Chains A and B, each alone.
Chain A
Amino acid sequence: MPTFIKAIGVTVRISAASLFFATIIGIIFGLFKLSNIKPLIFIANAYISIIRGTPLLVQILFIYFGIPMVMGFRWNLMSAGIVIMTINAGAYMTELVRGGIEAVDKGQMEAARSLGLSYPKAMAQVVLPQAFRMMLPSIINQFIVTLKDTSLLSVIGMRELVQNTKIIVANNMEAFTMYAIVGIYYWVIITALSSAASLLERRTTYGK
């Protein structure tokens, strides 16, 4: 039982940290995609295309085993997990951010610019807050996806929920019980997140 609590901690920590950094990446590449600068659009599209077009498992193995071979360093396991999940979720967040910004009425940017705000200021203070409000359900959804995807990190020996369960099953041979339990853990966490999300969503609906 204590190992489970620790493992839940690892799963949640990686997911939360990755989603945080993925949001930043999503904003940067999302703005790339919306810029009129061709090389930036190309970079963003290439990034999304590579991440979408390859299995997460391959990305994990490539980044954890492949890259250090060429670049000559060793990953700290936790950092590797966060970096991998960030890069993966970042691509999906990029599309979310782009969609969110595009969904904000153009007049908002125009009104902010006509008051004298620069593009970055107008983006940060007027457009992005509204975009995020609209994106919130999708962001939570991405968090849930990332949370489940962290289970794949078990292949590089990350002791998150699934890896922890595998180790326990290896000792007590109770595969049915233990995998049922770990499933329930995921379900509880994700259900709690979903309901927290819908609560949050209602609270941030301005004046309606």
Chain B
Amino acid sequence: MAAALHDTPPAPGSGLGGEPISEAEALARLRQTDDQSAQYYAAWWLGRMRSQHPEAVPLLRAALAQRQPRDPAAGVEHNAVARNAARALGKLGDAAAIADLLAALDDDDDGLREAAARALGELRAAEAVSPLRRRLASGPAGAGAPRPDSPRLQEPCEALLEALGEIGVASGEVLAVIEPFTAHDRPLIRSAACRALLQLSGDPRWAEPLLQLLQDPQLQVRRAALMDLGAVGWRPALEPICRTLAENSLKLIALRGLVENGGQHGDDPGPVLTAMDALL
């Protein structure tokens, strides 16, 4: 779910806000290493603008190897530059980045693993299926167990599950690893697992739990289910999406997904467009 929401301006700590800069300026800021907040913004910028400059991917790969401690006072996350570089590499669509992202999938920092998993999903990297599967193999009680010291899980399960769905290798082994997570305690993890299974198998029984999550009492869960149904492009969800209690902005993103990801059966997108018009 979070993938769709990551395309937002840089987090606090970048120190730069959303000022417009040129591509040359972004590349220069990423190349220097003295000011990491400038690098952080530059990495985000190159991904957001889908830079096709030949230096963009090599510089982002170098940035992906950078490590830095967390700085809570300045609002800077652990390995902030590397995480943003991973996110940008996912958007630039260059397979040259896959090997580095696979390495990042084994990093000690779970936030970096999360960003790398999402990027590998966006790149549809079939090479990532085995490592993703391994990370999840211990199931909800292992990879999906809450950490004693933080609200996070042992593994960034949501991102790992979603990446498997995006990559689209629908083997029995992949489905078997994902399925136990449909019974996870946390609704966001159940949503991600159902999304991946629905993408991979097209089996409507995985749509049903997602439709139910659209009525969850928590707004955060309803939002996630909206994004997940949009990512799958599940056209039968049109009416339930329109009825969901959530912001029109998110419903519009979900309906865009129904149009763009849901055209496999040659269904007429007309009713979805009519619904979108009514939400503006």
A and B interact:
no
Footprint of A on B, CB under 8 Å? none
